[in-house]
């Protein structure tokens, strides 16, 4: 946003994509969020605008105990993100 030199004043910082979508839908601002597969809140009408090629990337890493009770679940999550993402994930057991 800053690189566009458009004036903006952040008022909220939210983590929940559905909450962000609802607020934007109600005219409370704009947001740059990943195009998530859903589920999405019912009744919202939003416009998707593609980002330019030089837009920043969001990198996510997984850290987990190799001997923890959820090790297999983390491995399944990693496999799923590789299928739907770019395949460039970093898993550090």
pLDDT at 3: 64
pLDDT at 52: 81
Residue 1 has pLDDT above 60, yes or no: no
Determine the Cα–Cα distance for residues 24 and 82; give it in Å rounded to an integer. 30
Determine the Cα–Cα distance for residues 50 and 59; give it in Å rounded to an integer. 18
Global pTM reads 0.53
Given a contact cutoff of 8 angstroms between Cβ atoms, the answer to whether 44 and 25 are in contact is yes
> 42-93 pLDDT, tens per residue?
888 888 888 888 877 777 777 888 888 888 888 888 888 877 765 454 444 4
Determine the Cα–Cα distance for residues 25 and 31; give it in Å rounded to an integer. 10
pLDDT at 28: 86
Determine the Cα–Cα distance for residues 12 and 29; give it in Å rounded to an integer. 10
């Amino acid at each position: 946003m800053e690189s566009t030199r458009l004036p903006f004043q952040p008022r909220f910082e939210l983590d929940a994509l559905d909450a962000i979508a609802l607020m934007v839908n109600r005219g409370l601002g704009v947001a740059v969020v990943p195009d998530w597969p859903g589920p999405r809140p019912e009744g919202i009408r939003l416009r998707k605008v593609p980002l330019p090629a030089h837009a920043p990337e969001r990198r996510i890493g997984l850290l987990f105990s190799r001997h923890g009770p959820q090790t297999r679940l983390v491995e399944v999550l990693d496999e799923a993100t590789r299928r739907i993402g770019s395949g460039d994930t970093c898993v550090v057991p």
